[in-house]
């Protein structure tokens, strides 16, 4: 997993406004639950990079506390996911009050995957996407389509008044062997927007290295290679935005 600053941010002197995190916590049966979160700070938000970091870390921590306290992935409901989002908004509000700013100054999108032994939960507010495979072939599919308004640079944020109404949520007991989360900076490379399908060759080429890894959890070497790849001309010539990509596999 890696984030890479966009060329437009380099040119304007802005920092990378994407953030990602991973946590693993055992449930009460001793089975590990993987928590992946990607956030992308709003370009219009003055504290976008701080908001993305706080939202990412806060959401992951709230999920981890739920699992460690005896919660099950299959027991996650839309209402519970909404309470986690409100917990994130509260954290951002506290930060904004301490800095005499507004919560919207910390606006960001959020993608999350919570993978357990028997179920997987997905949460999304805004653009970017989550792509999954059952592991039996190369049948890659998106879980939710990115949120865009009338214009390509419009989306929903967790600090929006209607965030809970526009939040996408799903829990499935169907097999999920591999998952990718990415911010909107990669949409043009990995999604076919006309047909609303996934560009499978991209994931076919990226996942073999992940499957060969003998590391449980983040592979630092692969992460460095991925960050370098996200900064190559092959990527930056097609997008000038920040880019984040998490790749995870249960296959070996």
Question: Residue 106's closest CA among 114, 96, 121?
Answer: 96
Q: What pLDDT does 193 receive? A: 85
CATH for 153: 3.60.40.10
What are the φ/ψ torsions at residue 187 (nearest 5 degrees)? -55, -45
Parent domain of 176: 2-249
Domain tally, the chain: 1
pTM of the model as a whole: 0.92
Q: What pLDDT does 13 receive? A: 80
**132 - beta bridge partners?**
141, 179
Place of tokens 């956030």: 39
**pLDDT averaged over consecutive 10-residue blocks of the chain (252 residues)?**
85 87 93 95 90 96 96 95 96 94 94 95 95 80 82 79 93 92 91 90 91 83 90 88 91 70
Q: What pLDDT does 149 receive? A: 60
Burial of 218 (C-beta count, 10 Å sphere; 0-12/13-18/19+): middle
Question: Residue 110's closest CA among 20, 34, 33, 46?
Answer: 20
Q: What pLDDT does 217 receive? A: 80
Distances (CA, A) of 105 to 50, 100, 252: 9, 10, 43
């Amino acid at each position: 997993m890696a984030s890479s600053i966009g060329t437009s941010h380099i040119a304007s002197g802005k920092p990378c406004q994407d953030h990602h995190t991973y946590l693993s916590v055992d449930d009460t049966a001793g089975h590990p639950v993987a928590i992946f979160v990607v956030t992308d700070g709003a370009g219009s938000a003055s504290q976008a990079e701080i908001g993305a970091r706080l939202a990412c870390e806060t959401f992951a921590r709230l999920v981890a506390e739920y699992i460690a306290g005896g919660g099950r992935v299959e027991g996650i409901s839309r209402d519970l996911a909404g309470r986690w989002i409100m917990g994130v908004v509260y954290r951002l509000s506290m930060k904004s009050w301490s800095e005499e700013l507004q919560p919207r100054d910390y606006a960001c999108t959020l993608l999350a995957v919570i993978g357990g032994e028997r179920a997987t939960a997905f949460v999304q507010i805004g653009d970017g996407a989550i792509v999954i495979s059952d592991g039996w072939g190369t049948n890659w599919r998106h879980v939710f389509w990115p949120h865009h308004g009338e214009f390509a640079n419009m989306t929903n944020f967790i600090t929006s008044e209607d965030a809970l109404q526009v939040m996408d949520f799903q829990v499935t007991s169907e097999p999920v062997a591999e998952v990718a989360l990415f911010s909107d900076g990669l949409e043009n490379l990995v999604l076919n927007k006309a047909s609303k399908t996934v560009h499978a060759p991209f994931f076919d080429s990226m996942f073999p290295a992940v499957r060969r890894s003998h590391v449980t959890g983040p592979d630092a070497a692969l992460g460095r290679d991925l960050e370098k790849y996200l900064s190559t001309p092959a990527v930056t010539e097609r997008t000038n935005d920040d880019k984040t990509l998490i790749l995870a596999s249960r296959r070996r």
